[in-house]
Structure 1
Amino acid sequence: MHSSYSLSKRLVSIPILAIQLLLIRSVSSLNLTNDYLNHKCLVSEGKYRTGGEYEENLNFLIRQVLTYDYPSGFIHISQGDVPNLVTIILQCRGDSYDSKCLSCFDTALSGLRKRCQRNKGGIVWYDQCFLFITSAKSPPGPRRNDYKNIFSMHNPKNMIEGTESFNKKTRDFLNELMVEANTPNRPNKNMYLYAAGEKRLGAKKLYALVQCAQDILDCKGCLARSIRELPKCCDGKQGARVLGTECNLRYEIYPFLRS
Structure 2
Amino acid sequence: MENIAKVCSRLIFLSVICLFFAQAIIADKPDFKYSFGCLDKGDYTSNSTYKANLNHLLSTLTSNTEIDYGFYNSSYGRDPDKVYAIGLCRGDVKPDECRSCLYNTTNFLIQHCPNQKEAMRQDEYCILRYSFCNIFGIMDDDPVYTQHNVNDQSGNLDTYNQDLRTLLDGLRNQAAAGGSLRKLAEAKSTGINNKTQYTLVQCTPDLSQTDCSDCLLSAFGQIPLCCDGKIGAVIFTPSCNFRYEEHTFFGPVADVAPPSTNTSVADIAPPSINTSAAKGNDGNKSQTVIIVGSIIAFVVVVVLIIISCIYLRVRKPREKSESKLINWFIVKKV
TM-score class, shorter-chain normalisation, is: 0.7 to 0.9
Q: Do the aligned residues in 1 keep the contact of 2:86 with 2:128 (CA within 8 Å)? A: yes
| CA distance in 1: counterparts of 2:111 and 2:104, whole angstroms | 11
Give 1:60's match in structure 2, choosing from 48, 56, 59: 56
User: TM-score with structure 1 length normalisation?
Assistant: 0.78
| CA distance in 1: counterparts of 2:155 and 2:80, whole angstroms | 55
- What secondary structure, in the 3-state scheme, does the structure 1 residue paired with 2:34 have? strand
- Deviation sequence 1:143-194 (CA, Å, 0-9, x none): 1x24222232212221132222112111111111112212357xxx84x310
- Deviation sequence 1:45-75 (CA, Å, 0-9, x none): 113324x322221222123223123322111
Measured after TM superposition, the shift of residue 113 of structure 1 is 1.9
Measured after TM superposition, the shift of residue 254 of structure 1 is 0.6
Q: Do the aligned residues in 2 keep the contact of 1:73 with 1:93 (CA within 8 Å)? A: yes
* Pair 1:216 & 2:207 matched: yes
Structure 1 residues 36 and 116: alpha-carbon distance in aligned structure 2, compared to 1, 3 A threshold: farther
| CA distance in 2: counterparts of 1:137 and 1:88, whole angstroms | 9
Q: Do the aligned residues in 1 keep the contact of 2:44 with 2:51 (CA within 8 Å)? A: no
| CA distance in 1: counterparts of 2:242 and 2:186, whole angstroms | 10
Find runs of 4+ consecutive structure 1 residues off by over 3 angstroms: 24-27
Q: Do the aligned residues in 2 keep the contact of 1:45 with 1:136 (CA within 8 Å)? A: no
| CA distance in 1: counterparts of 2:178 and 2:127, whole angstroms | 24
Give the equivalent residue in structure 2 for 1:142. Answer: 137
Larger Rg: 2
RMSD: 2.3
- Deviation sequence 1:77-109 (CA, Å, 0-9, x none): 111123321111111111114112101101211
Measured after TM superposition, the shift of residue 36 of structure 1 is 4.6
Structure 1 residues 235 and 175: alpha-carbon distance in aligned structure 2, compared to 1, 3 A threshold: same
Structure 1 residue runs without a partner (length 5+): 1-23
Measured after TM superposition, the shift of residue 252 of structure 1 is 0.5
Q: Do the aligned residues in 2 keep the contact of 1:75 with 1:90 (CA within 8 Å)? A: yes
| CA distance in 1: counterparts of 2:140 and 2:58, whole angstroms | 26
Give the equivalent residue in structure 2 for 1:95. Answer: 92
Structure 1 residues 230 and 133: alpha-carbon distance in aligned structure 2, compared to 1, 3 A threshold: same
Give 1:76's match in structure 2, choosing from 73, 76, 79: 73
Give the equivalent residue in structure 2 for 1:17. Answer: none
Q: Which amino acid aligns with 2:204?
A: A
- Deviation sequence 1:199-257 (CA, Å, 0-9, x none): 01233100010000112231111112222331232111011122111111110011001
Structure 1 residues 132 and 39: alpha-carbon distance in aligned structure 2, compared to 1, 3 A threshold: same
| CA distance in 1: counterparts of 2:125 and 2:33, whole angstroms | 9
| CA distance in 1: counterparts of 2:147 and 2:216, whole angstroms | 16
- What secondary structure, in the 3-state scheme, does the structure 1 residue paired with 2:52 have? helix
Structure 2 residue runs without a partner (length 5+): 1-24, 253-334
Structure 1 residues 83 and 92: alpha-carbon distance in aligned structure 2, compared to 1, 3 A threshold: same
User: TM-score with structure 2 length normalisation?
Assistant: 0.61
Q: Which amino acid aligns with 1:181?
A: A
Give the equivalent residue in structure 1 for 2:232. Answer: 239
Query: Where is the helix percentage greater, Structure 1 or Structure 2?
Result: 2
1:172-211 superposed matches below 5 A: 172-184=166-178, 190=181, 192-201=182-191, 202-211=193-202
* Pair 1:162 & 2:156 matched: yes
Give 1:47's match in structure 2, choosing from 44, 47, 51: 44
Q: Which amino acid aligns with 1:194?
A: L
| CA distance in 2: counterparts of 1:65 and 1:255, whole angstroms | 30
| CA distance in 2: counterparts of 1:82 and 1:88, whole angstroms | 15
- What secondary structure, in the 3-state scheme, does the structure 2 residue paired with 1:42 have? strand
Q: Do the aligned residues in 2 keep the contact of 1:219 with 1:247 (CA within 8 Å)? A: yes
- Say which is worse superposed, 72-81 or 122-131, in terms of deviation: 72-81
Give 1:129's match in structure 2, choosing from 126, 132, 147: 126
- What secondary structure, in the 3-state scheme, does the structure 1 residue paired with 2:111 have? helix
Measured after TM superposition, the shift of residue 142 of structure 1 is 2.1
- Say which is worse superposed, 57-66 or 102-111, in terms of deviation: 57-66
Identity of aligned residues (%): 27
Give the equivalent residue in structure 1 for 2:20. Answer: none
